[in-house]
Amino acid sequence: MKASAEAAAPPVVAPSTPAPAAPAPPPPQAERPAPAMPQAEPAAGETLEPMTAMRRGIAEHMRRSLDTSAHVTSAIEVDMSRVVAIRKKLKKEYEKDYGVNPTYLSFVARATVETLRDFPWINGEIRGEQIVTRNYINLGFAVELADGKGLIVPVLKHAEGLNLLGIARGVTDIAQRARDKKLTPDEVQGGTFTITNPGGYGTFHGTPVISQPQAAILGTYAVVKRPWVIQDDRGEDVIAIRPIMNLTLTYDHRLVDGALAGRFLRDLREKLQTWDEAAY
């Protein structure tokens, strides 16, 4: 009977207790500032010079450009005989009547504008997944500052509407005001294509870095007298002394293929070697 009574008794249930609450998260801690970089100490014979704001900006832009664009450089040689002759004829007139020197850079810039009309991608840019082309040409010119410790790229807006004299005047004006630090912010923005001219120091080749977000940059170099093979009046090959200029085009291979760059340089060379005074 005892066993059956125990079997019939209801089971004893332990009283339920609530689960303990989750501990509150600790309050967020303020981020600690990154430790300052230790100051570099000069080694024997060295001097440390802090980078200026301009130099830091140039360094950042150059690095960003190389990280952005697939840089490739092509080069071509140009017989500048016709340009040299025309410049010699115009130089005295331009300096006397207009106060400007028709430099070789002015001739190259004018011919570049005419060539860019037929190569809109070289005057364009990649914007996201779109290709931007334009019906205007804003030429940038790399200008070294007066102290030699930096450069700036003033922009000659709507260069497609300027003849040789207009470009010569424009380049002279913006270059001088760049050296005098008198440019307005608008005059260093909006470039669509850039020309750099290290040839003034006698250099004959270089690989310039593209000014973002442009697609290409043209390098112009020293005019040097060199032996050159030409044809005489009888159609025979002879060696003559000719003033030769090297031109380089550094381009973004994401947009501009080597064949397109080659055709651009070929056409630019043709315009310079057969300079048409009436057209330019």
Q: Which positions are catalytic?
A: 253, 257
Structural contact between residues 249 and 155, judged by C-beta atoms closer than 8 angstroms: no
Cis peptide before 25 (omega within 30 of 0): no
How many Cα atoms sit within 13 Å of 154 on the Cβ side? 20
User: What distance in Å separates the CA atoms of residue 2 and residue 182, rounded to the nearest whole number?
Assistant: 112
Q: Which residues pair with 242 in a beta bridge?
A: 226
Name the token pair of 247: 């031109």
H helix or E strand, kind and range, residue 138: none
Q: Report the number of secondary-structure helices (H) and strands (E) in the chain.
A: 6, 10
Structural contact between residues 142 and 155, judged by C-beta atoms closer than 8 angstroms: no
Token pair 């006397």 is at which residue?
Answer: 96
CA dihedral 120, 123, 127, 129 (to 10 degrees): 30
